Structure 1
Amino acid sequence: MLSHLLHTVAGDDYGNKKMKPEKIKGTVILMKKNVLDFNDFHASFLDGFHELLGKRVSFQLISSQHVDADNGLQGKLGKEVYLED
């Protein structure tokens, strides 16, 4: 029982904090990356390659309140996830 309480407060065996999954409501706008930059050959190539692999749509949450020093003091990036069919 005590170990269960410690895991609940401190996290799992790997030091990860357990978080309760929550749904958020928002709006998603989908655009191909090369729509924003007409001369970006690299983005066009990667778009086509990812479509072949079946990874068509991915997104990352970007914090507007927390900055990341490793990212040039821009917003902290979340984990990249792919939308399900």
Structure 2
Amino acid sequence: IFSLLRSYIALVEQVSGFQCCKFGEEVKPALDKFVLLLQEPVKMVPVEYWMEAPLCQYTMDRLFSFSIFTARVFAVGDPTHHTEGSAQKCM
């Protein structure tokens, strides 16, 4: 995620070089601040025993949702028809 954000910032810098683009000038300071925040070390807090099971379930639910999302995004065919069946049928 961090390298993706750095690539996005580089693209914003390139686009903001054009005089017609105010978006880059407005977004770049916020992105630079965000990158600085991401670079700061984070102190890890130990997970208490009673939190382990719900945290594990929550993480697995998020991973499952993300895998469904990425499967639909990168599936072959028209994404509007992916709920009708397999991705191969929507071609």
Asked if Structure 1 and Structure 2 have the same fold, meaning a TM-score greater than 0.5 normalized by the shorter chain, the answer is no
Which structure carries more strand by proportion? 1
- Whichever structure has more helix as a proportion of its residues is 2
TM-score by length of 2: 0.24
